[in-house]
């Protein structure tokens, strides 16, 4: 069974894939920053990087890998750039792993995860995910897992990710896991059958499932295994024996309608579930109904991620209604779906029942003005403690600016606000920026890139953040700000408590552009972006 997270494979393209545009490079930096600063098996072992340190490392890694890939491309002038993209992505993943294993080095306090995870001594964690990504068979499995066979070992957390188990290796691992399953509380078997034929991969899953049946787990990660319905049902014995799960990760698993149904049927109880992450699947509206059933049965849910799952209006409405039962929710991520206005309105009705919400990610949902206004009108009354709000790519224009501004005035705890890739123009910018001027002392990031802004709008946003003491980044890229306007923005930032260093890249700004001119086509980075979409920490040469 081929995993969707395998190394990028060379393909034949009809266009040049190299070099990437500046916006694509920035996108990669942001993606790496998120990966480096998100809780994982690595952060639990080596420490969690703060966002600023993660961002600095991400920029450094991208520059190194771009230079290396560019030299590779120039040595193959007749190539289409696919091998350069492959090198770019692979080296990026490799260097990310190195940074994660070094752990945090700055004096900045690491970000505190929303969901408390018990801290265990290092000798309670058994992790073979480091080193080269590789197929392993019986002999190597015996060597790798030998520590688990020692009497009196105290391992409670195991991570087998990044090693592809064949039947022989699984037959070695099975009895070992069965012998220690009563002491295990966390199991990460994400990405552990990559590249195996489907029949073999399913057999491996069944062996692991049988061996771990009855383990009382609080954490289970089966992501990145291209499961589909067959894969979910291959884990039947393990899943059906879980009554105490607090965290479940089923990301990038090809979860269709039938697979979502199987998952909902097989897990007997989700009442203790605090984290359910369901990112990058093929769930659709029909599958969303079964995910919604799981959510309804999860009243203690604190972090729910259901992003990039092809869910449309009907599924979005069902999920929105189900989330009403999750009154302890702190983090909600529904990005990159096809909800539309109706689902946005349904979600607005649910948000009033979530008093503890701290992070809300609603980018790329086709909310438009009507859905956006419905949501922000509720947030201004019910979520004064909100720290992160992302609503990029929702076709929001100046008509929704007043409602959005009134909401932002109430959200005085905001640390990050993202309104990128909308259509605010200067008219909307003036209203929204005014609402951010007073208070908002914790605001650190503001992203209003690609909003058809000109000189006036840019100046207003600069004025809004210039005196925020801990402010880190203002993103105005991809707009139509004149050279004089950029100079004014820098002067405003210098005159306040921040320097012009907080201003992000302006490589995609068009100082001579016209926001009303829709005829000019943007550079098409679609093929390259598809090569980088699945970026994750991988260990390859």
Q: What is the DSSP string of 196-235?
A: --HHHHHHHHHHHHHHHTT---SEEE--SS--HHHHHHHT
pLDDT tens, residue by residue, 312-366: 999 999 999 999 999 999 999 999 999 999 999 999 999 999 999 999 999 999 9
3-class DSSP state of 396:
coil
The residue among 198, 199, 147, 150 whose CA lies nearest residue 1 is: 198
User: What is the distance, to the nearest Å, from the Cα of residue 522 to the centroid of all Cα atoms in its chain?
Assistant: 26
Q: Which long-range contacts (CB under 8 A, 24 or more apart) does 239-244 make?
A: 239/209, 239/263, 239/266, 239/267, 240/266, 240/267, 240/268, 241/213, 241/214, 241/215, 242/217, 242/267, 242/268, 242/269, 243/216, 243/268, 243/269, 243/272, 244/216, 244/217, 244/218, 244/269, 244/272
Rounded CA gap, 419 and 404, in Å?
10
SS3 state at 178: helix
| Residue 4 confidence (pLDDT) | 41
Q: What is the biggest distance separating any 2 CA atoms in the chain, rounded to whole angstroms?
A: 72
Per-residue pLDDT, 391? 98
pLDDT tens across 419-433, in order? 999 999 999 999 999
How does pLDDT run across 71-126, given as a tens digit for each residue?
Answer: 787 777 667 777 878 888 888 888 888 788 777 764 333 444 455 555 455 569 99
Q: For position 38, what pLDDT does the model report?
A: 77
pLDDT class of 541 with cuts at 50, 70, 90: very low
Mean of pLDDT values over 444-459? 97
Task: Judge whether 237 and 265 are in contact, CB under 8 Å.
Answer: no
* Average of per-residue pLDDT values in the chain: 87
CB 127 within 8 A of CB 101: no
Tokens of 385: 């403690």
Distance CA 370, CA 18 (A): 40
DSSP 360: E
Residue whose token pair is 């007043």: 402
Question: Which two three-digit tokens encode residue 10?
Answer: 């060379």
Residue 466 has pLDDT above 80, yes or no: yes
- CA-closest candidate to residue 502, choices 540, 461, 533: 461
pLDDT on residue 64? 85
Q: Does the structure show a pLDDT above 90 at 37?
A: no
Give the pLDDT of residue 533: 53
**pLDDT above 90: percentage of residues in the chain:** 68
Mean pLDDT of 15-28: 73
Parallel/antiparallel/unpaired status of strands 275-277 and 473-475: unpaired
Among 19-23, 244-248, 325-329, 349-353, the least confident range: 19-23
CATH tag, 22-102: 1.10.246.200
118 CB-near residues (< 8 Å, 6+ apart): none
> What was the pLDDT predicted at 226?
86
Place of tokens 């520059």: 63
Residue 252 in 3-state DSSP? coil
pLDDT at 115: 53
Q: If 0-12 CB within 10 Å is exposed, 13-18 middle and 19+ buried, where does residue 175 land?
A: exposed
For 49, the 3-state DSSP assignment is coil
Beta pairing, strands 186-188 & 163-165: unpaired
Residues found in the chain: 541
Q: Tens digit of pLDDT for each residue in 483-500?
A: 999 999 999 999 988 888
Work out the burial of residue 500: count CB atoms within 10 Å of its CB; fewer than 13 is exposed, 13-18 middle, 19 or more buried: middle
Q: Is there a cis peptide before residue 376, judged by omega within 30 degrees of 0?
A: no
Contact yes or no for 464/433 (Cβ under 8 A): yes
| pLDDT surpasses 90 at 535 | no
pLDDT in tens, 145-177: 999 999 989 999 999 998 999 999 999 999 999
Tell me which of 2-16, 29-43, 526-540 is least confident: 2-16
Quick check: 168 and 137 in contact, CB under 8 A?
yes
Q: What is the model's pLDDT at position 36?
A: 82
What per-residue confidence (pLDDT) applies to 24? 77
Average pLDDT over residues 459-469: 96
Q: Is residue 223 predicted with pLDDT exceeding 80?
A: yes
Q: How high is the pLDDT of residue 32?
A: 83
529 pLDDT above the threshold of 70: no
CA 377 to each of CA 102, 297, 327, 380, 382: distance values in angstroms, whole numbers, following the listed order: 44, 28, 19, 6, 9
CA atoms within 13 A on the CB side of 491: 7
Identify the CA nearest to 527 among candidates 35, 64, 81, 61.
81
Q: What is the pLDDT of residue 523?
A: 43
Mean pLDDT confidence for 516-538:
52
* pLDDT for 379: 97
Q: Between the CA of residue 142 and those of 36, 104, 148, 170, what are the distances in Å?
A: 32, 33, 10, 10
Quick one: pLDDT at residue 2? 44
Q: What are the tokens at 449?
A: 């890139």
Domain residue ranges of the chain, discontinuous segments joined by + = 22-102
Choose between 411 and 66: higher pLDDT.
411
The answer, yes or no, to whether residue 252 has pLDDT greater than 80, is yes
The pLDDT value recorded for residue 16 is 61
What per-residue confidence (pLDDT) applies to 96? 82
H helix count then E strand count, the chain: 19, 15
Q: Determine the Cα–Cα distance for residues 424 and 431; give it in Å rounded to an integer.
A: 10
157 beta partners: 125, 186
Tell me if residue 325 falls in helix, strand or coil. Answer: helix
pLDDT confidence tier of residue 259, bands split at 50, 70 and 90: very high
Residue 131 has pLDDT above 80, yes or no: no
User: Quick check: 443 and 464 in contact, CB under 8 A?
Assistant: no
pLDDT at site 207 = 98
DSSP string, 280-294: S---HHHHHHHHHHH
Task: Give SS3 for 490.
Answer: helix
Average pLDDT over residues 54-77: 81
- pLDDT band at 532; cut points 50, 70, 90: low
- In the prediction, which pLDDT does 488 show? 97
Question: Which two tokens mark 82?
Answer: 């696919």
Q: Is residue 374's pLDDT more than 70?
A: yes
* Cα–chain center distance at 399: 30
- Taking alpha carbons only, the member of 325, 321, 246 closest to residue 289 is 321
Rounded mean pLDDT, 504-509: 94
- pLDDT at 203 (0 to 100): 97
Q: What is the pLDDT of residue 70?
A: 78
Of the candidates 187, 186, 175, 262, the residue with the CA atom closest to the CA atom of residue 227: 262
Quick check: 421 and 393 in contact, CB under 8 A?
Answer: yes
CA separation for the pair 300, 368 (Å, rounded): 31
pLDDT tier, 308 (very low <50, low <70, confident <90, very high otherwise): very high
Mean pLDDT of 23-42: 76
């Amino acid at each position: 069974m081929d995993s969707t997270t395998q190394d990028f494979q060379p393909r034949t393209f009809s266009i040049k894939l190299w070099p990437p545009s500046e916006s694509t490079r920035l996108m990669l930096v942001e993606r790496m920053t998120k990966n480096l600063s998100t809780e994982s098996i690595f952060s639990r072992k080596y420490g969690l990087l703060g966002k600023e340190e993660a961002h600095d490392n991400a920029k450094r890694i991208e520059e190194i890998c771009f230079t290396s890939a560019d030299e590779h491309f120039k040595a193959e002038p007749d190539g289409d750039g696919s091998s350069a993209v492959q090198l770019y992505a692979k080296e990026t993943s490799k260097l990310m792993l190195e940074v994660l294993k070094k752990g945090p080095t700055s004096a900045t306090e690491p970000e505190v995860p929303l969901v408390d995870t018990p801290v265990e001594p290092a000798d309670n964690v058994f992790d073979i995910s480091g080193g080269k990504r590789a197929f392993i068979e019986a002999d190597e499995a015996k060597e790798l897992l030998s520590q688990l066979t020692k009497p009196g070992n105290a391992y409670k957390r195991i991570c087998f990710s990044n090693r592809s188990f064949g039947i022989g290796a699984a037959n070695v691992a099975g009895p070992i896991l069965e012998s220690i399953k009563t002491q295990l509380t966390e199991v990460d078997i994400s990405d552990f059958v990559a590249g195996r034929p489907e029949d073999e991969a399913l057999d491996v899953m069944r062996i692991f499932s049988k061996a771990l049946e009855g383990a009382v787990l609080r954490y289970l990660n089966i992501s990145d295994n291209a499961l589909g319905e067959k894969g979910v049902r291959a884990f039947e014995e393990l899943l059906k024996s879980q009554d105490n799960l607090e965290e479940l990760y089923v990301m990038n698993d090809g979860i269709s309608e039938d697979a979502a149904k199987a998952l909902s049927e097989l897990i007997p109880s989700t009442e203790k579930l605090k984290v359910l992450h369901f990112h990058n699947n093929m769930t659709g509206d029909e599958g969303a109904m079964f995910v919604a059933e799981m959510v309804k049965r999860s009243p203690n849910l604190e972090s729910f991620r259901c992003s990039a799952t092809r869910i449309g209006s009907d599924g979005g409405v069902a999920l929105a209604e189900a989330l009403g039962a999750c009154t302890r929710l702190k983090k909600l991520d529904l990005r990159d779906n096809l909800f539309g206005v109706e689902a946005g309105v349904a979600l607005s009705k649910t948000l009033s029942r979530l008093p503890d919400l701290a992070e809300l990610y609603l980018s790329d949902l086709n909310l438009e003005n009507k859905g956006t206004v419905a949501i922000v009108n509720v947030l201004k009354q019910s979520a004064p403690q909100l720290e992160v709000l992302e609503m990029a790519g929702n076709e929001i224009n100046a008509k929704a600016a007043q409602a959005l501004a009134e909401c932002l005035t109430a959200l005085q705890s905001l640390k990050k606000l993202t309104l990128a890739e909308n259509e605010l123009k200067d008219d909307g910018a003036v209203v929204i920026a005014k609402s951010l001027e007073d208070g908002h002392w914790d605001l650190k990031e503001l992203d209003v890139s690609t909003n058809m802004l000109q000189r006036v709008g840019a100046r207003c946003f600069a004025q809004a953040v210039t005196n925020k003491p801990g402010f880190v980044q203002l993103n105005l890229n991809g707009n139509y700000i004149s050279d004089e306007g950029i100079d004014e923005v820098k002067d405003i930032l210098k005159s306040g408590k921040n320097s012009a260093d907080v201003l992000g890249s302006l490589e995609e700004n068009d100082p001579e552009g016209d926001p009303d001119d829709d005829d000019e086509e943007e550079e098409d980075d679609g093929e390259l972006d598809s090569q980088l979409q699945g970026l994750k920490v991988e260990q390859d040469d």
